[in-house]
Structure 1
């Protein structure tokens, strides 16, 4: 239980990697093997064989998320980065590197920047989010409605949230596909993550400049006018953080909700008839397939013990949200109903809890409603057991959801 993340484990086989071909196939099996061997906290390696602690226990995840004085978000205290073992060009830096946004900071700087985000998310949430979703969902469905077949990942869930966000942010709809693809690459990691991040930042910097000259009723204009008096870099980085996170989590969760609906005829018919509330299906997906399976990252601000592991100041901790949701100490029966139980970790917790979760749920619920009522006889085109997923360090995404329907 005291294995250091820098050292081989007791078997001599080396510390488990959270990336690569094996991890891409079945991350949940990896989490459970680690839990069986180490308990609530396990040593792992991420891209570049960089050491980290993966927090597997529900209570331990809560402790880290809710105690920023012990587990800070500012990666400038990260020992491996400070000592030069992680380069600025590393794909990891797109997910854990410091930026002047609310994700990367704690205390008063965090409160100031988060207020600008939450105030403007509340404003845009009242400006017809569901109307935007209905518009874009209908437009996407129109593109395949006459064919009788579709892939609800590639043809629907993968781009719909970003199309809605273009309207919310004040971006051109034509930029939605580029931004969605680049956001996915940033989260996936790999050699092209930095280039895709730069593409996103370039588009958002142009947006901020344009909105100074042509303000509108949108999220970008709201940040520019906010009393937090944000500078140019803060505005662009806040736009980046919200855009990538909101699209990635919502598109992933939408696909998982549709998977749940289409692999259970009773659930499907219940939604169509109105006997079942879509909110309960979304809650089930958030428990069993949170959009970020692993959340980056926190950094120990001093030497301490977590889950019987000796964590040193400057160590990187990764929040195992999927593993925490399945912790047998708080959820001994993962088949039991979770309807009405919102204590999952899918939206994080503590000061950095997702500020846009209601918007994301609104997008998903509206999208599912439109889809089910536009496509009569909607059904899977393949056996449920043939559906596959591919994981990166941070997420597990459904590869496809082929369906048929009546025309």
Structure 2
């Protein structure tokens, strides 16, 4: 057992070492950007299924690496609430409002930030409006915007399927669903990406997102539309202005996460000739490729954040009341206790952590998967002969605290 274990008489309550200690592994910075999985595995060997880490600004947190421990946290909101007002470091003034962590961790009047009855009220509204959106033709919007993006490069014979395609299709679809004009959706691509990336501009981009949705909500009060913004305003749960704005923001950030999953799925397709031929011939279903991506390269590698409601033991460590926990979805999915052989096929196994779990499990997962299915299908049918334009082993990714994104996915095709 490590020196932060329950058996250590010197283990400080609720804080594994002094705040901001340089001895802790950082989930940000140069090493984390290029080799996050190396950090996860080193932490697993040193600390077990839960490890003390530092987030941006050298903020203390516990990273949950184990699959079963992640499920325990996600399935028990009374013991590990999502409400950031429980966070001791924030209550005691150690987290600045300008911190890059604020957009992803701070309390907001949305269903993600609340538990119990407030969560049920808001989550019910979100479920209702997302279901209505599906009925209004989300698949049709996905087909439209997939074709529109392809039109931008179809005559050139080459493209970067990250920057030219995956980064835009889910975002433009959700912009239409939410009630935004296409130009506003394209503006949000950068801001949502920067928010997820973190860094000194994260708070500024978060403000831009809220401003766009604040203006949309005001428009829809006087000019209702056939969109999700109008549906939230009209819902019987009686959401106020800030609740509507923050739920539109939440859905748009989920779309930004979906862009990463689309890129990962396209990478799997284009780096395996049998997958590519199977999809184009109809012998392989895209859902099988998505399952593989969600197990081995989930769009969020680390899920923010849960907070200990009281002192509790987790993974052999004493977690203090008010401590921050972040859930390692990527390391949890390859936890040797549940996947002793990661090379074994995961087809048909939907027990991955990619969408979270428990009461806060992603409510829009079926919509996101539908958009990816259409985006891949349209691409392969529009561009026969599509092939990767560089060796697969030279493809690179850059990670932030929360996600690891493909840098590029260059392709060529006959015109």
| TM-score range relative to shorter protein | over 0.9
Cα contact 1:148–1:405 (8 A) shared by 2: yes
* Aligned equivalent of 2:250: 241
* Aligned equivalent of 1:357: 365
Q: Counterpart of 2:152 in 1: which secondary structure?
A: helix
* Aligned equivalent of 2:147: 138
Q: Kindly indicate whether residue 351 of structure 2 is the aligned counterpart of residue 348 of structure 1.
A: no
Cα contact 1:15–1:44 (8 A) shared by 2: yes
* Aligned equivalent of 2:376: 368
* Aligned equivalent of 2:296: 288
Cα separation, partners in 2 of 1:286 and 1:32, compared to 1, 3 Å: same
Structure 1 residue 30: deviation in Å?
Answer: 0.6
Q: Kindly indicate whether residue 166 of structure 2 is the aligned counterpart of residue 157 of structure 1.
A: yes
CA distance in structure 1 between the aligned counterparts of 2:177 and 2:185, rounded to whole angstroms: 12
Q: Counterpart of 1:242 in 2: which secondary structure?
A: helix
Q: Kindly indicate whether residue 269 of structure 2 is the aligned counterpart of residue 261 of structure 1.
A: yes
Cα contact 1:2–1:309 (8 A) shared by 2: no
Structure 1 residue 2: deviation in Å?
Answer: 4.9
CA distance in structure 1 between the aligned counterparts of 2:185 and 2:234, rounded to whole angstroms: 24
* Aligned equivalent of 1:271: 279
Q: Counterpart of 1:85 in 2: which secondary structure?
A: coil
Q: Following superposition of structure 1 onto structure 2, how do residues 19-58 of structure 1 map, counting pairs within 5 Å?
A: 19-58=28-67
Structure 1 residue 13: deviation in Å?
Answer: 6.7
Provide, for residues 46-67 of structure 1, a one-character-per-residue CA deviation record: whole Å limited to 9, x for no partner: 0010000000000000000000
Q: Counterpart of 1:45 in 2: which secondary structure?
A: strand
Q: Kindly indicate whether residue 409 of structure 2 is the aligned counterpart of residue 398 of structure 1.
A: no
* Aligned equivalent of 1:382: 390
* Aligned equivalent of 1:70: 79
CA distance in structure 1 between the aligned counterparts of 2:366 and 2:136, rounded to whole angstroms: 14
* Aligned equivalent of 1:220: 229
Cα contact 2:175–2:252 (8 A) shared by 1: no
Residue of 110, 119, 123 corresponding to 2:128: 119
CA distance in structure 2 between the aligned counterparts of 1:130 and 1:55, rounded to whole angstroms: 36
Aligned residues: 404
* Aligned equivalent of 1:176: 185
Structure 1 residue 332: deviation in Å?
Answer: 0.8
CA distance in structure 1 between the aligned counterparts of 2:135 and 2:297, rounded to whole angstroms: 28
* Aligned equivalent of 1:7: 17
Q: Counterpart of 2:63 in 1: which secondary structure?
A: strand
Structure 1 residue 113: deviation in Å?
Answer: 0.7
Structure 1 residue 89: deviation in Å?
Answer: 1.4
Larger deviation, residues 171-180 vs 293-302: 171-180
CA distance in structure 1 between the aligned counterparts of 2:92 and 2:179, rounded to whole angstroms: 41
Cα contact 1:116–1:223 (8 A) shared by 2: yes
Provide, for residues 41-87 of structure 1, a one-character-per-residue CA deviation record: whole Å limited to 9, x for no partner: 00000001000000000000000000001100111111111111111
CA distance in structure 2 between the aligned counterparts of 1:270 and 1:152, rounded to whole angstroms: 20
* Aligned equivalent of 1:200: 209
- In the TM superposition, structure 1's runs of 4+ consecutive aligned residues that sit over 4 Å from their partners are none
Cα contact 1:125–1:359 (8 A) shared by 2: yes
* Structure 1: gaps (5+ residues): none
Structure 1 residue 35: deviation in Å?
Answer: 0.3
Structure 1 residue 8: deviation in Å?
Answer: 6.8
* Aligned equivalent of 1:61: 70
CA distance in structure 2 between the aligned counterparts of 1:312 and 1:350, rounded to whole angstroms: 22
* Aligned equivalent of 2:339: 331
CA distance in structure 1 between the aligned counterparts of 2:353 and 2:79, rounded to whole angstroms: 19
Larger deviation, residues 187-196 vs 389-398: 187-196
Provide, for residues 131-161 of structure 1, a one-character-per-residue CA deviation record: whole Å limited to 9, x for no partner: 1111011011011111110000000001111
Structure 1 residue 6: deviation in Å?
Answer: 4.6
* Aligned equivalent of 2:220: 211
Q: Counterpart of 1:98 in 2: which secondary structure?
A: coil
Structure 1 residue 335: deviation in Å?
Answer: 0.9
TM superposition score normalised by structure 2: 0.96
Q: Counterpart of 1:377 in 2: which secondary structure?
A: coil
* Aligned equivalent of 2:27: 18
RMSD: 1.2
Cα contact 1:201–1:236 (8 A) shared by 2: yes
* Structure 2: gaps (5+ residues): 5-11
CA distance in structure 1 between the aligned counterparts of 2:206 and 2:32, rounded to whole angstroms: 24
